[in-house]
Structure 1
Amino acid sequence: MLDPRKLHLLRELAARGTIAAVAEAVMFTPSAVSQQLSALEREAGVPLLERTGRRVSLTPAGHLLVEHAQAVLEQLDRAAAALSAARGGPSGPLRIGAFPTAARVLLPSALAALTAGHPGLEPMVAEIDPADVSAALRAGELDVALVHDYDFVPPVTDAAVGTEPLFAEPVYLTGRRSLAEARDDAWITGKPGTLCHLMTIRACQAAGFEPRVRHHVDDFDTVLAFAAAGQGVALVPHLAATAPPAGVTLTPLPLSRRTLAAFRRGHGGHPGVRAAIAAFRTAFRAAAADLPPAR
């Protein structure tokens, strides 16, 4: 019989690409991961990996098994969620990931409601970039997370991760009335590799120019402070701009940032995850009552 723990390692190899990355994610040594995968090959009775020097790739049989492994691991999560529901109300640790704006603006009230309504729960929050959430969910480091995506930046899909839309918010341009007016300005963006940075670059490209980036800043409070100091223009989502510094003008653009709850497929029915999502929705309604519904 195939061992689900070994199937998890094979799925992580397919997602991460190297045994070293899998070992780091699951806190094993690379040799231990290799041994477990070799044992899985023996259990499967067919080669699952192709080894060329230090490089490892999946065979067609390996890719096929990953598809089935996803279904098996998802069903095991469903079984765990059902057993948790049978034990009664949500209880125990609940590991929540959130991007900084959500952690600052929305989570305090959501956590207060969550612990008041479910005193047996122990929420544990970690700030995380949305780009890192899928890996953290697959590895079991998080139970549920708040993530976002932008227009011009297609969401990254992961067969192991499910999402529920929560709400959408407009994106503002600081200091100018349109992107065309900001063509020759210095720009403040997130660090390269972040969704915020990519959204800014692509929005400017769609307007017909490449932005001249002067500052790379991820914290939107700092972005707004830099804008107030005349250090450039920026694109800032609504929740990050509810109290802009004096002198900063905000022009809404036909751009949106969408916030979603993310969880492992099969784990979305867990009582703790459902309670957290309900608390998120309540907090979002209070903080963003004037915003359009999620789409």
Structure 2
Amino acid sequence: MELRHLELLRELADRGTITAVAAATYRTPSAVSQQLRNAERAFGAALVEPDGRGLRLTAAGRLLAEGATDVATTLARLQRDLDDLQGRPRGTVTLAGLPSALEFLVPGLLPRLGGTGIEVVLTDADVAEAGFAAYAADNDLVIGHSLAEAPEGSDRLVARTVAREPLDVALPASHRLAGRRGIVAADLAGERWIGVPLGFPFDTVRIAIENRSGHALDVVQRIRDNRVVEVLVASGAGCALLPRFTTRTRPGLALVPLTDIRSVRSIVALGRADRLERAAVRVVLAALAEAGAAAASPSATGSADVGVL
């Protein structure tokens, strides 16, 4: 049983296609297909089967892919123990994150790593929940957000919630609701709404507002970037949902809590189990949790409406 064959199946499970595996491992698709055929001969079992125009793992393939994670995690744990014997952890940790989540965490993260010998290489990425596994295949840690307790796409990953941030309704300052201490879903019935693309976490709150009020919102735009959403709301283009602590203070923009629907995002650090066994990655993960706790504390935000894990 060769480790390279197990790793191939794991990559196929995470990335989904032979083409994606080939691109990530700097090989041609034909070379990956040849290695897959070699793996089938070595294991004496069919490991993939047709799935439309592509392939999917068979039950045997899935079994071996999951086993590959266990093997890689054991090896990483052994390396961690060896690093501990030789002194404090060092090295580079790659971290890909949603910009609004990185903005929340990075100012407190980097100072906590000063003098540790650990370098963090950041990549800002528009990480949708369905893309967590793909990003985790190429990075030690992925920082995303979710409105669910178990983020979609995290079933093959280890997830740690490092902070929680309330989501408020963003309104033009001249809006009839802007001066309230809180609003309910029924107050928003029929409002022009600047949403996010379908399938992104914030859209679940838009659906909850419509279900509770019994009226559809008039979705006029679907924008990923919170900064663009801010200026659109401030200009009077519509209402939206924005995170409380990382939304810019802008003329013409007001934030009001939504009181009858749970609207809190969990900022989540995810990674492959073996990556999270690395000593340097564990140090960074602990520092992220500390940074999240500090950023969301009442003394830092002026609010006690946030919980931190």
TM tier relative to shorter chain: 0.7 to 0.9
Distance 1:209 1:15, change over 3 A: farther
Superposition misfits of 4+ residues, deviation over 6 angstroms: none
Q: Which residue of 233, 243, 250 corresponds with 1:245?
A: 250
Which residue of 2 is the match for residue 229 of structure 1? 235
The alpha carbon displacement at 1:200 in A equals 2.9
The alpha carbon displacement at 1:216 in A equals 2.0
Question: Identity percentage over the alignment?
Answer: 32
Residues 142 and 271, structure 2, Cα contact 8 Å, conserved in 1: yes
Q: Give the count of matched residue pairs.
A: 288
Which residue of 2 is the match for residue 156 of structure 1? 152
Partners of 1:83 and 1:48 in 2: CA distance: 34
Partners of 1:161 and 1:59 in 2: CA distance: 20
Residues 101 and 239, structure 1, Cα contact 8 Å, conserved in 2: no
Aligned to 2:277, the other structure's residue is in SS state coil
Structure 1 unaligned runs (5+)? none
State the AA in 2 paired with 1:148.
H
Aligned-CA RMSD value: 2.4
Distance 1:3 1:174, change over 3 A: same
Aligned to 1:166, the other structure's residue is in SS state strand
Which residue of 2 is the match for residue 107 of structure 1? 106
The alpha carbon displacement at 1:95 in A equals 0.5
Residues 235 and 252, structure 2, Cα contact 8 Å, conserved in 1: no
Structure 2 unaligned runs (5+)? 172-176, 178-182, 299-304
Residues 15 and 133, structure 2, Cα contact 8 Å, conserved in 1: no
Residues 173 and 179, structure 1, Cα contact 8 Å, conserved in 2: no
Aligned to 1:8, the other structure's residue is in SS state helix
Q: Which residue of 144, 162, 166 corresponds with 1:166?
A: 162
| 1:219-240 Cα distance to aligned partner (Å, 9 max, x none) | 2222122111100000112222
Residues 105 and 291, structure 2, Cα contact 8 Å, conserved in 1: yes
The alpha carbon displacement at 1:206 in A equals 4.3
Distance 1:86 1:36, change over 3 A: farther
| 1:13-40 Cα distance to aligned partner (Å, 9 max, x none) | 2344322232233332111110111111
The alpha carbon displacement at 1:167 in A equals 2.0
State the AA in 2 paired with 1:124.
V
The alpha carbon displacement at 1:178 in A equals 2.8
Which residue of 1 is the match for residue 174 of structure 2? none
Which residue of 1 is the match for residue 78 of structure 2? 79
The alpha carbon displacement at 1:265 in A equals 1.1
Which residue of 2 is the match for residue 17 of structure 1? 16
Which residue of 2 is the match for residue 205 of structure 1? 211
Does 2:304 align with 1:294? Answer: no
The alpha carbon displacement at 1:54 in A equals 5.5
Distance 1:155 1:202, change over 3 A: farther
Residues 190 and 218, structure 2, Cα contact 8 Å, conserved in 1: yes
Residues 162 and 293, structure 2, Cα contact 8 Å, conserved in 1: no
Distance 1:235 1:63, change over 3 A: same
| 1:194-214 Cα distance to aligned partner (Å, 9 max, x none) | 323344344433443333211
Residues 81 and 270, structure 1, Cα contact 8 Å, conserved in 2: yes
Name the TM-score, length of structure 2 as normaliser. Answer: 0.83
Does 2:94 align with 1:95? Answer: yes
The alpha carbon displacement at 1:110 in A equals 1.1
Q: Which residue of 259, 264, 271 corresponds with 1:263?
A: 271
Question: Which aligned pairs between 1:26-65 and structure 2 lie closer than 5 A?
Answer: 26-51=25-50, 55-65=54-64
Partners of 1:52 and 1:106 in 2: CA distance: 41
| 1:58-87 Cα distance to aligned partner (Å, 9 max, x none) | 333223322322322222232233333333
Distance 1:101 1:184, change over 3 A: same
Q: Which residue of 289, 295, 299 corresponds with 1:281?
A: 289
Partners of 2:257 and 2:205 in 1: CA distance: 15
Aligned to 2:89, the other structure's residue is in SS state coil
Distance 1:202 1:31, change over 3 A: farther
Distance 1:45 1:235, change over 3 A: same
Residues 224 and 244, structure 1, Cα contact 8 Å, conserved in 2: no
Name the TM-score, length of structure 1 as normaliser. Answer: 0.87
